[in-house]
A and B are shown apart, each in its own frame.
Chain A
Amino acid sequence: MKSLAELQAIRNRMIDQVSMRKDDSIDTRVVVGMATCGIAAGARPVMLEFVEEIKRRGLENVTVSQTGCIGMCRLEPMVEITVKDQEKVTYIHMSPEKVARVVAEHIVNGRPVEEYTIGYQG
């Protein structure tokens, strides 16, 4: 494995910052559908791009997690985003290319990208 000393250093650096932050600082949840259907439709690159984009922007109040199949396999890859106290928004047919816009408009600025959502009538 790569140098554990380097990892140890990251840990020591982060531990001070984390202890200064409150536990309730997480206010945005990104949940990616990662059952067989989601994975087959390409959920992995979508999830990796969310992680990458969130890191790129240094957003510390966002978590990325997964869920199973919610029964609409033909709409995968699906991503559910809940920002603060707002209602959950469900994005369908997601791709890595759509991620940057969703992060910028919805997570950072609080305006969901309507045209990617499940209820959108184009």
Chain B
Amino acid sequence: MMRELADNIMDIAQNSISAGASLTEVHVTVSHEEDRITFVFRDNGCGMSEEMVRSVMEPFTTSRKTRKVGLGLPLLRQTAEMTGGSISVESTVGVGTVVTAAFGLTHIDRPPMGDVAGAFFSLVMMNPDTDFLFTFDYDGKDFTFDTRIIRETVAPLPLNQMEIASWIKDCLSTEINELHGGNFS
């Protein structure tokens, strides 16, 4: 199991990059009313066949050629299910993939959310040439971060240029912190 849900975010979003996505969306929703945390990952990568979608939850499924394990989705599933939540994967070859995971917000076994801003930032920093759309909805208050807008603003500089990266990092942590007032883990 990952120590923090933020680690799952990084891990699963990385699958989209590996699938050649030019845009990877990560939507995080926290709802106290529904007692739910929801993650939606949507990408325009290469997608998967029906057969692959069926087997992708198994730990011995991977598209990698070097070895035969892939633990990202099984770990996410384990965490979702042990907190009374669930996971679903929909995919179309040539169109993209949507992974949805739900967790019980107040379930005793739910790992802490961890540093979501840090996870978003790491994804941008490590993959400066692809685009991300991040949203974080906290009990109806929401925040959107779109690297396409940032890219346009800073062009021709890359998103991982130190000063720009630093602005992105501050922006993500300030805005996300404002949503929940720093009282949420």
A interface residues with partner B (beta carbon < 8 Å): 1-2, 4, 6-8, 10-11, 13-15, 18, 34-37, 39-40, 42, 44-45, 47-48, 51, 54-55, 60, 63-66, 69, 71
Contact = CB atoms under 8 A, between A and B. Distances in A.
Contacts, number: 92
Contacts of B171: 1-2
Contacts of B170: 2
B163 interface: yes
Contacts of B162: 54-55, 60
Most chain-A CB neighbours within 10 Å: which of B1, B66, B144, B163? B163
Interface residues of B, number: 43
A11 B158 CA distance: 10
B161 A14 contact: yes
Nearest to B17: A66
A13 B125 CA distance: 20
A120 B156 CA distance: 43
A39 B7 contact: yes
B14 A10 contact: no
Interface in B113-127: 115, 118-119, 121-122, 125-126
Contacts of B3: 40, 42
A1 B174 contact: no
